[in-house]
């Protein structure tokens, strides 16, 4: 069997992963980034992705290319919240966000933006767009520019 050894190693890797972390492209990248930063991954996939030793929570966007998507669903709200409230509630829980370009499990490049800077940018961006989906795609260069524009 061609992949027998690889599958044996993957079984061992699954046994060591935190609850809720999958060995998908994003999951592997999140494990690699958490290890790189000395963070702990949050169980499950709601809210932030990881926290540091002080308990501060961070959002991770990991890519093998140069595409980092922040997806907040649609503008249509059922619960009386505005789309602005929806984004603010989510981003305000984070200390900040990291974008990382990862090859395999090697972190090649990382950028960080604090939540206030990111929130202000996202609210302004979506005010100036008309689409129903609230998705902002960054390149690494564009994400790094947020930090330098504040």
What is the pLDDT, as a whole number, of residue 80? 79
Specify the CATH number for the domain of residue 102.
3.40.210.10
Which of these, 119, 114, 123, lies nearest to 56 by C-alpha position? 114
What is the pLDDT, as a whole number, of residue 27? 75
Question: Could you tell me what percent of the chain has a pLDDT over 90?
Answer: 57
- Whole-number Cα distances in Å, 118 to 32, 53, 65, 134: 23, 22, 21, 14
45 — pLDDT class (breaks 50, 70, 90)? low
How do 57-63 and 96-103 pair as beta strands? parallel
What is the pLDDT, as a whole number, of residue 93? 96
Domain total of the chain: 1
Q: Is the model's pLDDT at 26 over the cut of 70?
A: no
Q: What is the mean pLDDT of the chain?
A: 87
Rounded CA-CA distance 146/129 in Å is 18
3-state secondary structure of 2: coil
Q: Which domain holds residue 67?
A: 4-149
């Amino acid at each position: 069997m061609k992949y027998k050894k690889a599958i044996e190693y993957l079984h061992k890797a699954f046994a060591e992963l935190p609850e809720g972390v999958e060995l998908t492209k994003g999951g592997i990248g999140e494990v690699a980034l958490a290890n790189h930063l000395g963070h702990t991954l949050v169980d499950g996939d709601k809210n932030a992705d990881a926290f540091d030793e002080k308990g501060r929570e961070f959002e991770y966007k990991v890519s093998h290319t140069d595409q980092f998507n922040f997806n907040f669903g649609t503008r249509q709200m059922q619960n009386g919240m505005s789309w602005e409230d929806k984004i603010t509630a989510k981003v305000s829980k984070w200390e900040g966000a990291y974008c990382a370009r990862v090859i395999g499990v090697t972190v090649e490049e990382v950028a960080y933006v604090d939540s206030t800077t990111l929130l202000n940018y996202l609210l302004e961006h979506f005010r100036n767009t008309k689409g129903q989906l609230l998705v902002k795609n960054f390149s690494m260069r564009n994400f790094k520019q947020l930090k330098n524009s504040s």
